[in-house]
A and B are shown apart, each in its own frame.
Chain A
Amino acid sequence: MNAISATTFIASKKLTLSDPDWVRYALIALTLGIIGLFLVLPLLTVLIEAFAKGWTAYSASLTHPDALAAMRLTLLVAVVTVPLTTVFGVSAAWAIARFDFRGKSLLITLIDLPFSVSPVIAGLVYVLIFGAQGWLGLWFSGHDIKIIFAVPGIILATLFVTFPFVARELIPLMQEIGHEEEEAALSLGASGWQTFFKVTMPNVKWGLLNGVLLCNARAMGEFGAVSVVSGHIRGLTNTLPLHVEVSYNEYDFVGSFAGASVLAALAVVTLVVKTVLEWKRNQDKRLKVKG
């Protein structure tokens, strides 16, 4: 095959594929303009606003008991929801990518459903069930268990919005990889769990981590759904994004942007890790092709 000719190894400027210079420069300028205006500027603004009144005001805002409580709650929510969503994602992917059954495409659609539901509705449905007027609300309040305007409600709403994150990443990946390697492992006498941990996991690890990463970002950053069920009780049911909102609405801009700067840092870390994971994944792929 001539596909391995030198031209494919060495990038050559193909004549017909190059746009006129003025088109190229105009499009690159537009690209940089849009990215600058919509993406870079917002990131810078967070920092500038957070430090508008200097370092002391910034650190004071972040060490305020309410801010610390909000951070603790945000961490708690992530610690509970991310593992649950991950376990669900793995089991859904195993069932869907490794077996054929009736209603499979319906199941895939249903898993994607939370993506197309407004976060506010995600909060609303739990209020309807567990709220003061809700069906189960009376029973729970009778037993002195608070769900709405309390931490359990926040966790439930977060579970809803993060629902598809891991499954969505894993299903196409596992379908693409196919099940020959797993069948080989089973035929060599491996148990189901051995096959899963020694064959499946190493193949999908970067994709899985990427799903977990995005799930975590959403869990820590969710605002709409959590806002409906939280009740905005300071120090108790305010997550960090809600703390940002409350401070903003009280014209405590430094406090608000200080909180926002922590979340923005989280977003940047997420992007960096995501880029590394993609790089790792491509590297693995390339190694496999070569080998």
Chain B
Amino acid sequence: MAQSNIMPGFRPAISFTLVYLALIVLIPLSAMLLKTFELSLDEYWAILTNPRVQASFRISFGAALIAAFVAGVFGFIIAWSLVRYTFPGKRLFDALIDLPFALPTAVAGIVLAAIYEPRGWIGKIVMDTLDVQIAYKPLGIVFALIFIGLPFVVRTIEPVLQEFDTAMEEAAASLGATRLQAFVKVILPNILPATITGVALAFARGVGEYGSVIFIAGNMPYISEIVPLLIITKLEQYDYAGATAIGLTMLILSFLLLLLINGLQWWVRRRSGQL
């Protein structure tokens, strides 16, 4: 199987890798598939068409989508400022971007709830001025997912922006383009694939996110109940079949979306001759 290669250790390395992969990931995940097969198609369908289940899917995917887009815009602005400008404390802020990666989600959850609840620092200001409640509403879910998604976008765009050949911008200017034209026609198309990737990663993470959401969501069935929470609720009621059916569906939907996004990216790259 391995190429003719003087490097030693292929057999033990690949064997351990495959066994460990099977034990920790593949066998457990296929258990979920098998469990779902215990259901008849009608039963499976009944679980999925349950209004509460459908509402939770709408909320999870909807909130993740909105949050990913907002994180996309925010992330682009942050990446641009960090790469193109100098300002005091830049390195500190750059390091802080990874905080959502490093901060346990439960901590993020209780903190965001404390800030955005109607009596919290920001929550109170927004409540008093705009009469909008953030925490314990679907909006709270979006806020938590923006927090979670932000580093995905920034960290995908940053290296691409750093390696962007600025001579292209100079070329555009030398050909008579305004700064805005250079941005729209030259910079943006080159940064867009990375931005799409970042948004997709933020979205995929957001759909499955649990810890940072449940404290701020309010968890009202039909209104602010996310899919992962519903799975846990079903499990606590010993409805393993229901939990598994929902979990598998969520898994499949996420994969389809990721495939779609990968396809989109492949198409963008192909169009620009990078393949």
Contact = CB atoms under 8 A, between A and B. Distances in A.
Contact of A118 (B35, B87, B147, B207): B207
A17 interface: yes
Nearest to B36: A128
A271 B99 contact: yes
Contact of B231 (A120, A163, A263): A120
A3 interface: no
Contact of B104 (A102, A163, A263): A263
Contacts of B111: 42, 45-46, 49, 260
A116 B204 contact: yes
Contacts of A221: 102-107
A119 interface: yes
A31 interface: yes
B121 interface: yes
B166 A17 contact: yes
A99 B82 contact: no
The winner among A14, A20, A95, A131 for most chain B CB atoms within 10 A is: A95
Nearest to A35: B93
Nearest to A244: B106
A95 B14 contact: yes
Interface string A258-276: 0010011011101110110
Interface in B22-52: 24-29, 31-32, 35
A110 B244 contact: no
B102 A271 contact: yes
A121 interface: yes
A271 B84 contact: no
B55 interface: no
Interface in A196-243: 196, 214, 217, 220-224, 227-228, 240-242
Interface stretch (A61-69, A138-146, A179-187): A179-187
Given A263-B104, A270-B102, A135 B208 contact: no
Nearest to A224: B210
A224 to B, nearest CB: 4
Nearest to B78: A31
A60 B209 CA distance: 32
Contacts of A220: 104
Interface string B196-220: 0000000010011111000100000
Contact of A94 (B9, B99, B254): B9
Contact of B17 (A92, A119, A129, A274): A92
A42 B120 CA distance: 12
A107 B244 contact: no
A71 interface: no
Contacts of A135: 31
7 contacts: A41-B121, A98-B5, A115-B204, A128-B28, A248-B215, A267-B104, A267-B107
Interface of A: 14, 16-17, 19-20, 24, 27-28, 30-32, 34-35, 37-43, 45-46, 49, 87-88, 91-92, 94-96, 98-102, 107, 110-111, 113-121, 124-129, 131, 133, 135, 156, 159-160, 163, 179, 182-183, 186-187, 191-192, 195-196, 214, 217, 220-224, 227-228, 240-242, 244-245, 248, 256-257, 260, 263-264, 266-268, 270-272, 274-275
Interface of B: 1-3, 5-10, 12-14, 16-18, 20-21, 24-29, 31-32, 35, 74, 77-78, 80-82, 84-85, 87, 91, 93, 95-112, 114-115, 121-122, 146-147, 150, 166, 169-170, 173, 179, 182, 204, 207-211, 215, 227-229, 231-232, 235, 238, 240, 243-244, 247, 250-251, 254-255, 258
